[in-house]
């Protein structure tokens, strides 16, 4: 039976690229976002490349929905070999204007959803003694910036979760890694809102989603004698 790669937060850029990369690698891509309709272009792209894709709409913050999703994948598609958590919640707000409602939602998207999906992936992988769990980090995983209290809090929590899971699950054969994406990514958001930054694309000054995805596939194939837990990815011109 062909294995599956579940991509939680399969957007139009990085998440979609990760799903396509694992499909090219021979797994059935299972991209997940809140509405399945938004995944139609990605599914068509993967099919055109000769890959297999089963898009699913679900809210990663909903425990019951995630349990049902992971059960469905194992039952109808195949054993989950990879789970990549890639939900974005980058929403700046000055601390004086931040609200409990916004802060809680960002935390739910970054940390709570990461916990639910990571736990459910582990529950399926541990009995088999193999599997890869990848949590996408960001610059905010390492340092809090002005105006990003909510995002930094959520990303710090996700990084801590990844470390705890790596220490607990590594001896059980599960590779848990936390790639840190430190820099602007080639997305419509960057193109529209930061044209000066997007102009650096011609000189490889922003991150290419396909290049990011290739590193995720490499993490999955690392021998367990030399597993990477944290991997920094940034353009060559990025200051850090």
In a domain, 239, yes or no: no
- 218: Cα within 13 Å, side-chain hemisphere: 11
Give the whole-number percent of the chain exceeding pLDDT 90: 82
Bridge partners of residue 8, in order along the sequence: 32, 85
What is the predicted pLDDT for the residue at 144? 87
Average pLDDT over residues 41-65: 96
* DSSP alpha helix (H) spans, the chain: 14-24, 40-48, 63-72, 100-107, 113-125, 149-169, 188-193, 195-198, 209-221
Residue 238 lies in a domain: no
- Whichever domain contains 134, its CATH number is 3.40.50.720
DSSP 74: I
Summarize the confidence of residues 28-50 as an average pLDDT: 95
Q: Which two tokens stand for residue 111?
A: 């940390």
Q: Note whether residue 77 is domain-resident.
A: yes
Residue 221, token pair as written in the block:
């194939």
pLDDT at 89: 80
Residue pair 52/174 in contact (Cβ under 8 Å)? The answer is no
Structure tokens that stand for 120 in this block = 């459910």
Find tokens 């607990």 and name the residue. 168
Say which residue the tokens 């000066």 belong to. 196
CB 79 within 8 A of CB 28: no
Is 209 a domain residue?
Answer: yes
Q: Is residue 70 part of a domain?
A: yes
Confidence tier at 106 by pLDDT (50, 70, 90): very high
Q: What distance lies between CA 6 and its chain's CA centroid?
A: 10
170 DSSP assignment: G
Region 145-161 average pLDDT: 93
Cα–Cα distance measured from residue 81 to residue 17, given in angstroms and rounded to the nearest whole number: 17
The fraction of the chain above a pLDDT of 70, given in percent, is 100
Structural domain for 28, as ranges? 4-233
Count how many domains the chain has: 1
pLDDT computed for residue 126 by the predictor: 98
pLDDT tens track for 170-213: 999 999 999 999 988 998 888 888 899 899 999 999 999 999 99
**Is residue 35 in a domain?**
yes
């Amino acid at each position: 039976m062909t294995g599956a790669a579940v991509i939680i937060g399969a957007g139009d850029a990085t998440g979609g690229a990760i799903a396509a990369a694992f499909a090219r690698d021979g797994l059935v891509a299972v991209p997940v976002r809140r509405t399945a309709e938004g995944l139609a272009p990605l599914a068509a792209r993967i099919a055109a490349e000769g890959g297999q894709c089963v898009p699913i709409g679900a809210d990663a913050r909903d425990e019951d929905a995630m349990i049902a999703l992971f059960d469905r994948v194992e039952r109808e598609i195949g054993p989950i070999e990879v789970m990549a958590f890639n939900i974005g919640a980058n929403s700046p707000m000055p601390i004086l204007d931040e609200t409990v409602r916004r802060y809680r939602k960002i935390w739910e998207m970054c940390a709570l959803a990461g916990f639910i999906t990571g736990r459910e992936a582990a529950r399926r992988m541990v009995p088999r003694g193999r599997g890869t769990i990848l949590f996408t980090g960001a610059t905010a995983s390492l340092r809090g910036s002005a105006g990003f209290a909510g995002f930094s809090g959520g990303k710090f929590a996700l990084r801590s979760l990844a470390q705890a899971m790596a220490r607990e699950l590594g001896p059980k054969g599960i590779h848990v890694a936390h790639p840190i994406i430190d820099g602007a990514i080639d997305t419509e958001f960057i193109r529209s809102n930061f044209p000066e930054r997007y102009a650096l694309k011609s000189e490889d000054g922003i991150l290419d989603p396909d290049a990011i995805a290739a590193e995720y596939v490499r993490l999955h194939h690392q021998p367990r004698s030399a597993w990477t837990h944290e991997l920094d990815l940034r353009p060559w011109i990025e200051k850090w």
